[in-house]
Structure 1
Amino acid sequence: MPSTNPKTYDPTPSRKVAFLGLGVMGFPMAGHLALAGHQVTVYNRSAAKAQAWAGEFKGQSAATPREAAAGCDLVFCCVGNDDDLRSVVLGADGVLAGMKPGAVFVDHTTASADVARELSAAAAAKGLKFVDAPVSGGQAGAQNGLLTVMCGGDKAAFEAARPAAMAFSRAFTHLGPSGAGQLAKMVNQIAIAGLVQGLSEAIAFGQKAGLDMAQVLEVIGKGAAQSWQMDNRGKTMIEGKFDFGFAVDWMRKDLGLVLDEAKRNGARLPVTALVDQFYADVQNQGGRRWDTSSLITRLK
């Protein structure tokens, strides 16, 4: 969390909630829940991180997902991938074993639509609700409490979770049945992949042409070429700075989900498939943890 918190929270009844996964996204997201007045218990695979969060935000930490979920109205989660998600949801120490009847599990992991449907069915079998709710906005969005959240699942469960989730959200939107949130996040990543490659080519071309690209982006950023990527990554791309932001490894994981889903539904994604391979090149250059805007390094 930043040292100063500009977020203002809409008044909402205090809920007993849990948050599983305290990475660069989950740590501040759980923090916003606590700052909004909710009673928060956290779980993290590394217990030291959970204890540090509890000390900073005056919350509680638990040794297992099951213990974290005990008595909670809502359980939020943000972990790495499908297997990580199953590991905290299923089994004797999983969150479904500890949730009270009628409680809602909200998963912010970017995962497959298949695992969302699988875990939704597992939750329903225990009288619980599951909402797949991947996010967009990156680390800055999590820290500032301004994430865009794409949700799939039962509409009543979505409505039950929304007031608390707005503590870390700019928008929290229901898009359809289980899996719809994950599919919408795939749309988001397809759009970003193409935009970043286009911006990379534009900047590299302008530099080869001898233009002052900071000035050029200032000009074209007021017209039809404007995008979030240009506004937030154009300057650092010109400067060759990539040691921040959404890592290439994470984008490749997400694009892998996209391409797998496209094989199932028949969508044709020639540009996305190509950009995925360009990101593989960046990984091979040693850029696994560089920001996704590092695509431009292939063109230097």
Structure 2
Amino acid sequence: MKVGWIGLGNMGVPMIRNIAQAGIDVIAYNRTQKTLSIDGVQLVTSLGDAVRDRDVVVLMVSDVAAVRDVLFAQGAAQQMGSGTLVVNMSTIGVDETLEIAKDLHSRGLRFVDAPVLGSVKPAENGALTVVAGGDASDFELLKPLFDAVAKAAFHIGPCGKGATMKLLVNAYLGVAVEALGECLTFGAENGLATKLMLDVLQNSAVWSPMIAGKRDMLLQQAYDAQFALRHLTKDLGLAIRQASSIGAHMPAVDATLDTLCAAVETGLGNRDMVAVVEYLKAQTRP
């Protein structure tokens, strides 16, 4: 398998490092020039060099605007050989996924939507979870790549179902993060120390890997982004839009989105998602 990789951000770099360590032939490109050195990875400054003569082209970028920019505005799709398998591992909307798939198929290209569950630490450890939509045969072909970056990979169904599952998970995540922030703020205003609250939660039924992974951030009040609040906010917006299109009722997600948007507007967007607790503290009446 010869892979062209597009996107060398906080997630892309550890993912491609694990792919190279698995012995997969990979060439990588980033839209903005970065000075990097990754063992086993050929880094190129030309998009065409990253996608020509590749069996698989993977996108791991920030949003649908970036996906469309790479594929269509910058011309990656035009430079791929017929039958190239395009894999979008970025988080975008279900409707956007289906539109892109239709466009690529019309050009003689194949497409799988395969967003990942997990943030930077799981990416570094090769412990993400892949949720993929597309042809079952393409999913099977991609297993060596998925095995390199993930602890588990699921074929959810046809194209668009991977995006659906990712938005479902992140909608749940958003509500959980916001609820954690509310409850920690409630406890702090009642005189409880953060460490004590987390110790008790750790010995309760509500403890989760997500809270465990954010414990040090919350104790130190240092929110270097593993998963930026603005990205979670974007994902909840996509989930609400998809829910509206099919008539699903998501009142808790809707209310959470309002809170996250307000937190982003105060300047917390580039900090980790649990920084929403700082916004909630600021809303507490004196």
Partner deviation per Cα, 1:24-54 (whole Å, 9 max, x = no partner): 111221121111111211111123x2xx34x
* One-letter amino acid of the structure 1 residue matched with residue 119 of structure 2: G
Give the whole-Å Cα distance in 2 for the aligned partners of 1:299 and 1:81.
Answer: 27
1:236 and 2:217 correspond: yes
Runs of 4+ in 1 over 4 A off after TM superposition: none
Give the whole-Å Cα distance in 1 for the aligned partners of 2:266 and 2:140.
Answer: 45
Partner deviation per Cα, 1:64-87 (whole Å, 9 max, x = no partner): 433311111211111121121112
Could you tell me which residue of structure 2 aligns to residue 62 of structure 1? 44
* One-letter amino acid of the structure 1 residue matched with residue 90 of structure 2: T
Residues 123 and 130 in structure 1, CA contact (< 8 A), matched pair in contact too: yes
Correspondences of 1:82-231 after superposition (within 5 Å):
82-90=64-72, 93-231=74-212
* One-letter amino acid of the structure 1 residue matched with residue 7 of structure 2: G
Gaps of 5+ in 2: 282-286
Aligned residue for 1:286, secondary structure, equals helix
Could you tell me which residue of structure 2 aligns to residue 298 of structure 1? 279
Aligned residue for 1:184, secondary structure, equals helix
Could you tell me which residue of structure 2 aligns to residue 19 of structure 1? 5
Give the whole-Å Cα distance in 2 for the aligned partners of 1:229 and 1:173.
Answer: 20
Could you tell me which residue of structure 1 aligns to residue 28 of structure 2? 42
Could you tell me which residue of structure 2 aligns to residue 72 of structure 1? 54
Give the whole-Å Cα distance in 2 for the aligned partners of 1:299 and 1:87.
Answer: 36
Gaps of 5+ in 1: 1-14
State, as a whole percentage, how many aligned pairs show the same letter: 31
Partner deviation per Cα, 1:4-30 (whole Å, 9 max, x = no partner): xxxxxxxxxxx2111001111112211
Residues 104 and 161 in structure 1, CA contact (< 8 A), matched pair in contact too: no
Give the whole-Å Cα distance in 2 for the aligned partners of 1:235 and 1:267.
Answer: 36
Change (3 A) 1:40 1:270: same
Give the whole-Å Cα distance in 2 for the aligned partners of 1:289 and 1:66.
Answer: 31
Could you tell me which residue of structure 1 aligns to residue 16 of structure 2? 30
TM-score, normalised to structure 2, is: 0.91
Deviation at 1:186, TM superposition (A): 0.8
> RMSD between aligned alpha carbons?
1.8
Could you tell me which residue of structure 2 aligns to residue 12 of structure 1? none
Deviation at 1:195, TM superposition (A): 0.7
Deviation at 1:235, TM superposition (A): 4.3
